[in-house]
Each structure stands twice: as C-alpha cells, then as structure tokens.
Copies of this chain bind each other. A is one copy, B any other.
Amino acid sequence: MSAPKKVVLAYSGGLDTSIILKWLQTEYGCEVVTFTADLGQGEELEPARKKAELLGIKPENIYIEDIREEFVRDFVFPMFRANAVYEGLYLLGTSIARPLISKRLVEIAEATGADAVAHGATGKGNDQVRFELAAYALNPDIKVIAPWREWDLTSRTRLLEFAETNQIPIAKDKRGEAPFSVDANLLHTSSEGKVLEDPADMAPDYVYQRTVHPEDAPNEPEFIEIGFEKGDAVSINGEAMSPATILTKLNEYGGKHGIGRLDLVEGRFVGMKSRGIYETPGGTILLEAHRGIESITMDRGAMHLKDQLMPQYAELIYNGFWYSPEREMLQAAIDKSQEHVTGTVRVKLYKGLASTVGRWSDHSLYSEAHVTFEEDAGAYDQKDAAGFIQLNALRLKLLAARDKRLSK
C-alpha cells in the first residue's frame, strides 16, 4: 500500500484518537480530515472541533454531524425487524454502528478528495473488521489505516509520552488507566477489558453507566404502549415520534427500571472469546415489544423461517458484513415479512424486566372464533384434525413398520 495523502479519521476528540490524528500527520505527512459523529453516545461534539483545530486541522476539514436519526432509521430498526441477537443474547449495539460510521468516512473521503480513512480500533477486536469491511464494500479503492496495528505505541506509557511530545492535552482522569474500556451509542453502552477480564467474577457495580441497578429501580411497575408500523416502532403511549426520539425515550424508561443489562462471554470473529458488559435499555424493551406485535400479526410460517434465518443475519452484522449481498438478501426476506407488523403492544417495566402483557392490531391474525373453548359456530371442524394427524403420521408409521419388520 502506498502512503496515504489525505486521510479521513473517525475522531472522537478524546486522547486516543487525538494521538492517532497526530501520528497520521507525523508518520505519513498527510492531510487529516476529522469526522465526529453524534450517534447518541452522550458526549458533546463541539469540544472535538476545538481539539481538532488545536491539532492543526483546517476548519473545512472538520466534519461534525448528528446522525442519530439515520442510525436508528436505517440501521437499528432494520436490524430489530429481524429480532437479531448474537449468540442468543447480545443485541449488537456496537456492531450496528460501525457500518454507518464507515459509510460517512467513505462519503467524506469522496467529498474531500481523500484517498484513505482511519479508525481507532485495535487489532484484537471485531470493530477493525467491521470498519474496514464496510469501507472496502463501499469503495474498493479506499485505503484503510488502522494505527493500532501499525505503530509501536504499544503501552500506556508510550502513548502518553507521544502525547506529551506532541503537545496533545491529556485530561487529568486519563493519566491513570481506565479500569475498563467503553463504547456507547444510542442503542447501547458496552464495557470490557481490565477489571472485567475474568468471566468468573461478577462485574462491579460501577461498570454500569446507563441503567440503575434493578434493586434501585422503582418499586412500582410502569406500563407503556408502543405502536408499530411495518415492523418499526412509531409511537409511545399514543404519541408519534421519530426513530431516534423513540429509542431515546425507551432508553429513559429502560434505564429507570434497570432493564437491558447483560453480562456475556462471546466468540469474536477474530477467533478468541471475550467478556463484555452490555447495557441496552431501550433496545431490550423494543425487542420484547416487537416480538409481541409479531405474535399476533405475523403468520407462523413466516415467523419460523425468520427465526431460522436470524442467527446468520446476526452473525453477519456481528462480523461486519452489513454491506454484503447476503445480508441484503436476508434483509429483503425480513422486510417482506414485516408488511403487516402493525399494531400496539403493552409492556410492563419492572426491576430489570420488560414483559409484554397485551397486544392488539387491525392486522391481527388471532381469531377467537377459531381458538375458543366455547362453541365456535363452525369456524373449525375438529374432525379435520383426525385426517391431519393421519397424514402427518403416515411416514412415521412406515418407519415404525420397517423397524418392526426388520427386528423380526
């Protein structure tokens, strides 16, 4: 790979990406464009502008954007249509944000004439894969620079030395090492590393940042009603809201009731297992509610196929293949299944648990006439069941008859 001339850097404004910024300038002598996005991580963006300027970035090379609506509308919601969970439990909060960041990096590279993009993910994790696969899928000629895989700043001490040497301001609380590493966006907060590395040990309380302890949550349950249209949440308690507003609101509900905590050991795409603490308050409520509205509006055949496809869909997102033809194929199937997933779900929130307790819809397939224990006025002829069973049994009888014959 030839040296990059102009690089778009995913820049948080924090110490690590500031070091990367400077390192790119010194290592490659290249022009740097910074991209700082509000994905709902809960940090001010303007300080990033100041720091970028301080590090010599030209104003026209500083991109600061609020992409929360796009994030929820085009990434989070399509994923939730699939009820996607990785390894049975993980709601993919980090995974789903990466392709959007790469998309903007590549677009800004094209707009600014940059030939490369750069990110601050390490060489051990999944995020490098997600950033880079997305970038290459969107622009096959882009260069991707992953400083953590290249440089020799392999210890905290050396990083801090580099920062000092290069006049990068170091916040006081960044001098010491953080006891764990954090990633956050509107969908979730993940924490991993250091004090969390022994999966036998319970995560200390101070790790959780976004949800109260269930023990500290209100002693009274709260009930909310979530409205859906074609598989996406569109309202809470009857009030229509934008995608990002809904997720923000659900995060408040979930956070208040201690909902959406997960202590997980997961298999990384790069091969080893890692342990993470995830907080996905709004997403956890959303998943429960989405399952709830599907339960009355989606046909059994469609639902079972969808359930069967889900693990591969989740794996593709986890592994960084959002922009792949097979993810798009699965999305087409999933979206097809959501055409009637419209209606309202009532969810109980209490001490860490979100539970569907009611659901209704004009699109409902539930037929009391068919299922009732009472007289059904001919909706269903119980005698049909006899034939149904006989023909379903036929192949099993033929198998049993063979066993009987052969065992004689």
Please report A residues at the B interface, Cβ cutoff 8 Å: 83, 87-89, 122-124, 128-129, 132-133, 136-140, 146, 148-149, 154-155, 181, 193-194, 197-203, 214-215, 219-221, 261, 263-268, 270-275, 291, 295-296, 298-308, 310-312, 315, 320-321, 323-326, 328-330, 332-337, 340, 346, 350-353, 355-360, 362-368, 370-373, 375, 380-402, 404, 406
Copies in the complex: 4
CB of A276 to closest CB in B, whole Å: 10
Q: Are B199 and A373 in contact (CB under 8 A)?
A: no
With most chain B CB atoms within 10 A of its CB, the pick from A138, A337, A350, A373 is A373
A25 to B399, CA, bound (A): 32
CB of A229 to closest CB in B, whole Å: 13
Q: Are B386 and A370 in contact (CB under 8 A)?
A: no
Q: Are A267 and B387 in contact (CB under 8 A)?
A: no
On chain B, the residues within 8 Å of A122 by CB distance are 382
Complex A-B: 20 CB contacts under 8 Å? A88-B307, A136-B397, A136-B400, A140-B397, A140-B398, A199-B296, A202-B346, A261-B355, A270-B394, A271-B370, A271-B391, A272-B366, A272-B367, A272-B394, A273-B366, A273-B367, A302-B326, A325-B336, A388-B390, A388-B392
With most chain B CB atoms within 10 A of its CB, the pick from A214, A375, A396, A401 is A396
Q: Are B140 and A214 in contact (CB under 8 A)?
A: no
Q: Are B389 and A133 in contact (CB under 8 A)?
A: yes
Q: Are A392 and B271 in contact (CB under 8 A)?
A: yes
CB of A45 to closest CB in B, whole Å: 27
On chain B, the residues within 8 Å of A270 by CB distance are 385, 388, 391, 394
A359 to B359, CA, bound (A): 37
CB of A384 to closest CB in B, whole Å: 4
Q: Are A329 and B303 in contact (CB under 8 A)?
A: no
Q: Are A149 and B382 in contact (CB under 8 A)?
A: yes
A129 to B388, CA, bound (A): 9
Q: Are B329 and A306 in contact (CB under 8 A)?
A: yes
5 tightest A-B contacts by CB? A387-B387, A123-B382, A271-B394, A267-B300, A384-B387
CB of A98 to closest CB in B, whole Å: 13
Known: A122-B382, A387-B383. A373 touches B181 (CB 8 A): yes
Q: Are A384 and B390 in contact (CB under 8 A)?
A: yes
Q: Are A353 and B352 in contact (CB under 8 A)?
A: yes
CB-contact partner of A380 in B132, B272, B358, under 8 A: B272
Known: A271-B394, A340-B402, A385-B149. A308 touches B312 (CB 8 A): yes
Q: Are B384 and A391 in contact (CB under 8 A)?
A: yes
Q: Can you name the residue of chain B whose Cβ is closest to the Cβ of A302?
A: B325
CB of A212 to closest CB in B, whole Å: 13
A263 to B353, CA, bound (A): 13
CB of A405 to closest CB in B, whole Å: 8
On chain B, the residues within 8 Å of A395 by CB distance are 267, 271-272, 299-301, 365
Q: Are A385 and B382 in contact (CB under 8 A)?
A: no
On chain B, the residues within 8 Å of A391 by CB distance are 270-271, 384-385, 387-388
Q: Are A133 and B336 in contact (CB under 8 A)?
A: no
Q: Can you name the residue of chain B whose Cβ is closest to the Cβ of A338?
A: B329
